[in-house]
Structure 1
Amino acid sequence: MSNYDGNERILLVVGLGNPGAEYEGTRHNAGFMVIDRLLAGFPAGRFEARHVAQSFVHAGMFRGKPLFLQKPQTFMNLSGLAVAGFARKEGIRPEEILVVSDDLDLPVGRLRLRTGGSDGGHNGLKSVIAELGSASFRRLRVGVGRPAPGGTIDYVLSKFDGAEAERFGLSLDAAAEAVRAALAGGMSRAMNKFNAWAPPAEDEEKTNQSQ
């Protein structure tokens, strides 16, 4: 029986995405972009980069505790090979992992933190669950909006532009803050703050509509 109570320390933050310049900035690479935001927010030299377990891994300390930031290089559908491989190497349990991914069911600019759950039809999460043999890792889902029926693959591999790009950029900043909040104060506090978060433009829209 698992002794998981939702309060385990997070040792590994994984951002899901596809490697290669052609995929940079695409909706499906939201997880990679959140890791990049996190790294940009830390002092230079705080995290040491290395290539291990088919991933780029940045190892460092956060508030005196070890922390790993991982970007699998296996392509999305095989993400679990990298995540499980690195977790086994470092002795990290599923409950000590936070996985960041894009989500079609959330509007652009919205976030959702959870302590577990299904793969929700996301192939990267499906691979992570299969390779870890557990769905008890934490998740941060970053909204990228839903396409018209039948256009999912092209949609998730497309880039943002205009107002949508601005809104998405704000959500990436908030997602990095949400990860830091989860690391510092636990998932419950982070969920209470960021699951209700919305970009300023969205708040202004609602205010204008109500006037």
Structure 2
Amino acid sequence: MWLFCGLGNPGEKYKDTRHNFGFLVIDNFAKKHSLDFKFYKDLESEAAFYEDKAILIKPLTYMNLSGRAVKKWITKENIPFTNLLVIYDDLDLPLGKIKILPKGGAGGHKGMLSIIESLGTTEFPRMRLGIGKPSNGSVIDYVLSPFSNEEKPKVIKVLEISSSALEDILNLGLFKTMTKYNSLNELLE
């Protein structure tokens, strides 16, 4: 069993923002497979179950406290850290780039930092979704702003490719999927 955790902030205000890219991927995968999310108050998240292969979660703690919900699911379902995939926005990659890694640091991302602190390890897979850096202005304002109309076709492509990557993780395993999708990045420009 895998735990696919998309990072984002709850509520309409943040729905289509860059910082909610992880939520958008999880929602896209769920829609593709006709999955419905259910609210789990005690687990501070919404979750959907994909057959007996994966649990899709969206922590509702707000980004900076995402680790609380992730730890609760890991504990409840007895999921090894190697079967946790965290999906999140990354300022250090341009929009259109996807990078799947078996482990790593937080890279300044507060949601990832919360998960690392809650779990006490960096040894879990992640899918980094490029959002690029702002040309000017505040990083906080940038990540909490929606994608522009010019960016939306690329966002849709990333959502499609990311959903396919999630399926491949379940069917081919993490390392074969990394090889396949990390080398695809040139095609997304």
TM-score by length of 1: 0.83
Tell me the number of residue pairs that the alignment of Structure 1 and Structure 2 aligns.
188
Q: How does 1:55-204 map to 2 (within 5 A)?
A: 55-61=45-51, 65-148=52-135, 151-198=138-185, 202=189
Preserved CA contact (<8 Å) 2:2 2:79: yes
CA deviation after TM superposition for structure 1 residue 70, in Å: 0.3
Unaligned runs of 5+ in 1: 1-9, 203-211
Counterpart of 1:174 in 2: which secondary structure? helix
Preserved CA contact (<8 Å) 2:37 2:46: no
CA deviation after TM superposition for structure 1 residue 199, in Å: 7.6
Query: Against the structure 1 CA distance between its residues 135 and 73, is the aligned structure 2 distance closer, same or farther, given a 3 Å change threshold?
Result: same
Q: Structure 1 vs Structure 2: percent identity of aligned residues? A: 39
Matched, 1:49 2:44: no
TM-score by length of 2: 0.93
CA deviation after TM superposition for structure 1 residue 167, in Å: 0.9
Larger radius of gyration: 1
Aligned counterpart, 1:26 = 17
**Partner amino acid, structure 1, of 2:113:** K
Q: Let me know the Cα RMSD of the aligned residues.
A: 1.8
Unaligned runs of 5+ in 2: none
Provide the C-alpha distance between the structure 1 equivalents of 2:14 and 2:39, rounded to a whole number of angstroms: 21
CA deviation after TM superposition for structure 1 residue 191, in Å: 1.1
